[in-house]
Amino acid sequence: MSTLARARDPFALAPADRERLAAHVEEALRRARQSGGEVLGALTVSVDPAVDPSAVAFASRRRDEPWSCFEQPDRDRFALATLGELRMLAGDTNVGKRRASGSRRTAGEDANVGKRRASGLRRTAGEDRFGGVARAWRELLSTAVADAADGPRGAGLVGTGGFAFAPDGGRSSHWAAFPPAALRVPEVALARCGDDVRLTLAALAAPDDTREDLLARLDRRLAELRLAALPLLDPAPAGRYRISSAMPPEHYESAVARAVERIAAGDLKKVVLAREVQVDAPSAYDPAAVFGVLREAFPACYLVCVGRGEASFVAASPELLVRREGLRASTVALAGSTRRSADPSVDAHLGEQLRQSVKDREEHAIVARRIERTLRPRSVWLAAAPEPALVQVANIQHLATPIRAQLAHPISAVELAGLLHPTPAVGGEPHDRAMALIPALEGMDRGWYAGALGWTDAAEDGELCVALRCALLTGSVARCYAGVGVVRDSDPAAELAETEVKLQALLPVLAG
C-alpha cells in the first residue's frame, strides 16, 4: 500500500498484512470445523506512533457495544484500548446472555452468532470467579491463531474487564452492566508503550461461518476507526449540580464507631468502610471528557474507563493489585493516607506525620503482612521494602510498600489477582469476618468499587489495579465511592474527613 494511502488512513492494512489476516482467519475456521467449537483468529500490526488508543476507542465505539481504556501515562505512556465483544467470560450467566444477544450486527451477518456466543459463557460468579475466568481464557487461547507476541505490553490477543468487590457484587440495578466477573475478548485492541503502537484485529470463527463473512466484518470495523482528540469537559454547563450522600454522614460515623467496638472486642483487627456520594448533573456525562481530565490530572495513576451504552465506570487509582511478567509478580501494599498541601513545607510535614502515625502504620502493616503471607508459599523468593515510602498524587498521599516475587510455578495474572483480592487495604483482617461485616455496616452494594480492573494477554501476563478513586456514570448521574481503613485507634469524625479528601479526586471533575 502506498505511503499516501496510509497517510489518509492510518489503519489501512498493507497487502502482506491482509494476506496474513486471511490466512489466520482461514486456519481458525479449519480448527473450528474440526473441533466443533469457536476459535479466535487475530492479526497484529504497527500503526502510526501518533495514534492515541483511548481517543480512537471513544471516537469509534458503536452504540451499546462494550469498550475499555486503560492507561498509566507516567509509565512510558502505556495505553490499552479495546472495542467490541467477541466473547464475554462473565460473572452471571443471564447477564452474559443479554450482552451477547444484544450485540449489534450489521446486515447480512449471521443472526445466530449472538446465541452461539451466549451458549459458550461460563458461570463464574462466586468465590472461584477469578479461577473460572482464567480457565476459560486459557481454553480460548489454546486453539487461537494469532501472530507471535511482540511489541508493547498488551499487544496481541487480550482480555480486558473487571471483577466486583464481593463474589456476588453488582446485583443492584445501577450495576447491571458490570457483573461480578467480566473479562471481554474485544474485536479491536490498540496498545501503546512509548512510540510503539500496535493494532490487533480479532474474529471468533464458528464452524458455520465463512472466510468471506469474517473478513468482511473486520473490514467494516477497520473502516469505522476514527482519529479524534478526546473531547473537552464543558466548564460551565447550563443548570445546577446536586450532590447528596447515599447515607447521612452521621450514619457513616456510626458505622465506624461500631466497627471500632468490634475491633476492641477482639473480633477483628481492621475493616474498610466506604460511602457513596451521588452527583446529579444538569446533562449526561461524557465519559471521554471525564477520562481526558483524569489522565491530565493523575498521570501516575492507573486510569480506567470501562463501559457499555450510557453506563461507564471510571477510575484514577493509585493502587496496583498485581502485575505479572512471566514468573515475576509485582504488587504494592497501599494503606494509610493524608491530604496534600500547596505549601511544600506543609506538604512535607503532613507526609512525615503520616510516616510517624501509629494508627496508619498499624493499618499499613496489616495489608503488607497479608500480601506477603499469600505470595511467599508460591514464590522462590519475595522481597518487600523494609519501610513504607510515600506515594503522592494530586490531592492525597499514601504509605506504600512495593512487593516483588519470583513465582515458583506459573500462575496467571487473573489467578494471582484472585489470590490477593481483596487485600486488607479494601477489605479487612481477618478476611472472612471483615467481608461479613462490611455490607452490614455500609448498607450499600459496592459493585466494582474496590474490585479489580485490568487486562491479561496471550501469555497470561497482565496487570490489574484496585478500583479506587472511581465513579459509576449512568446518564446524568455519577455515583462516587471512597473508603477508609478502620482500626482500634480510629476516630469516626477523622475517618469521615478522610473520605472527603479521597472524594476530592473526582468530585471537582463531576460536579463542576
- Which residues are known to be catalytic? 270, 319
Among residues 402, 428, 408, which one has the least CA distance to residue 484?
Answer: 428
Phi, psi of 307 (to 5 degrees): -160, 175
8 Å CB contact between 314 and 473: yes
Which residue's C-alpha cell is 481454553? Answer: 139
95-119 CB burial, b ≥16 within 10 A, e <16: bbbebbeebeeeeebeeebbebbbe
Would you call 386 exposed, middle or buried from its count of C-beta atoms within 10 A (0-12, 13-18, 19+)?
A: exposed
Relative to beta strand 39-47, strand 196-205 is: antiparallel
Q: Per DSSP, which regions of 150-213 are E strands?
A: 158-163, 181-185, 188-193, 196-205
The residues facing 180 across adjacent strands are none
The grid coordinates of residue 137 equal 481464557
Q: Which of 340, 300, 343 is nearest to 319 (CA)?
A: 300
DSSP-H helix ranges across 228-286: 249-264
Cell numbers 504497527: residue: 46
Phi-psi label, residue 341: left if phi above 0, alpha if psi -120 to 50, beta otherwise = beta
Contacts 24+ apart (CB under 8 A), 496-504: 496/249, 496/252, 496/253, 496/256, 498/337, 499/252, 499/274, 499/275, 501/337, 501/338, 501/339, 501/395, 501/396, 502/337, 502/396, 502/468, 502/469, 503/277, 504/395, 504/396
Query: 3-state DSSP call for residue 307?
Result: strand
Q: Other C-beta atoms within 10 Å of 393: how many?
A: 18
CA dist 163 and 354 (Å) reads 31
* Greatest Cα-to-Cα distance within the chain, rounded to the nearest angstrom: 75
For Cα atoms 190, 65, 35, give the angle at the middle one, nearest 5 degrees: 80
